[in-house]
Amino acid sequence: MEMNQLDYLKPIEITEGIYWVGFVDNGASLHCNPYIIVDDDEVVLIDGGSRDEFSTVMLKILRVGINPKDIKSLIYHHSDPDLCASLPQFEAIINSNDLKIISDRAEHTFIKYYSSFDSSKSERVSIDELDYEYEFKSGRILKFISTPYAHAPGSFMTYDVKTKTLFSSDIFGSFNKNWSLYTHLHNECENCNPKEICAITNRECTMNGIIKFHQRVMASSKALEYALEQIKSLDTRLIAPQHGSIIEGEFDKEVIIKHLESLENVGFECYTNWRNK
């Protein structure tokens, strides 16, 4: 899809039954992407967003035609406030004793501090308790894939088996002030040396923003390498990160992985090298 074909004021269906319900902040270098999965009358919200974005995200969910009572589970890939800070608002509007808050056990340590209700009102469930799978009433399966320290101790990804969509959390995220919902790479990107400005488009370099994001946000090159190995083993049609832009097609996936696998100075390594200069 082209950027000028999308109306970011509306929810955008990125594949069958999956909607981007995010917020656009023009000029910001970091964008957050909440998603919902709609399966008949059962809805799962992924990385619901910050407190300030709640009204925008909720309005878009309503515009899909969703009754908040149909949201059965909230999935949080880690405990940062840009994902979780709106949790108490969602708990209040869903107002269900059956609501499940799903994350890794390590991340629940901190997620509980966002919650406004006691544990009898909404249940915190760890992905290991679910044997790393979530099953809808229809039989549709979500698989949870651990990616520790990429970037949080309990980081993980969610893979929708039905549509082959991978919700990759921070993996494949980016910094980019010229944001669009979909990544657009060129053949030349495969072997380029990413700079601030792309030599082809004369705009901010997409690949450069992805590289900088991973150097600053990932804990280490080993953590990033492990996460990329998990992604390479999956058959994906769509990769939907929590930051940055959605990735379509095998070419873009392979190009980004190639660049990220060759990265040096990731996370703590970047800090120690800077300190030693």
For the chain, what's the residue count? 277
Interatomic CA distance for residues 86 and 70, integer angstroms: 18
> How many domains, in total, are found in the chain?
1
Contacts of 235 (CB under 8 A, 6+ apart): 164
Across 190-202, average pLDDT: 80
| 150: nearest Cα among 202, 222, 204, 90 | 222
How many angstroms separate the Cα of 270 from the Cα of each of 64, 258, 276?
43, 19, 10
pLDDT score of 3:
47
How many angstroms separate the Cα of 70 from the Cα of each of 15, 73, 75, 183, 209?
20, 9, 15, 31, 37
| 115: nearest Cα among 90, 142, 148 | 90
pLDDT score of 200:
76
**Could you list the residue range(s) of the whole structural domain that residue 243 is in?**
3-276
Asked if 211 and 145 touch (Cβ cutoff 8 Å), the reply is no
Query: Sign of torsion, CA 227 147 34 39?
Result: positive
Instruction: Give the domain CATH number at 169.
Output: 3.60.15.10
Contacts of 33 (CB under 8 A, 6+ apart): 20, 22, 47, 240, 241, 242, 243, 244, 246
Tell me the pLDDT tens digit for each residue of 69-117: 999 999 999 999 999 999 999 999 999 989 999 999 999 999 999 987 5
Across 238-266, average pLDDT: 93
Confidence tier at 122 by pLDDT (50, 70, 90) = confident
Q: How many CA atoms lie within 13 A of 46 on its CB side?
A: 28
Q: Rounded to two decimals, what is the model's pTM? A: 0.93
Evaluate if residue 27 carries a pLDDT over 90. Answer: no
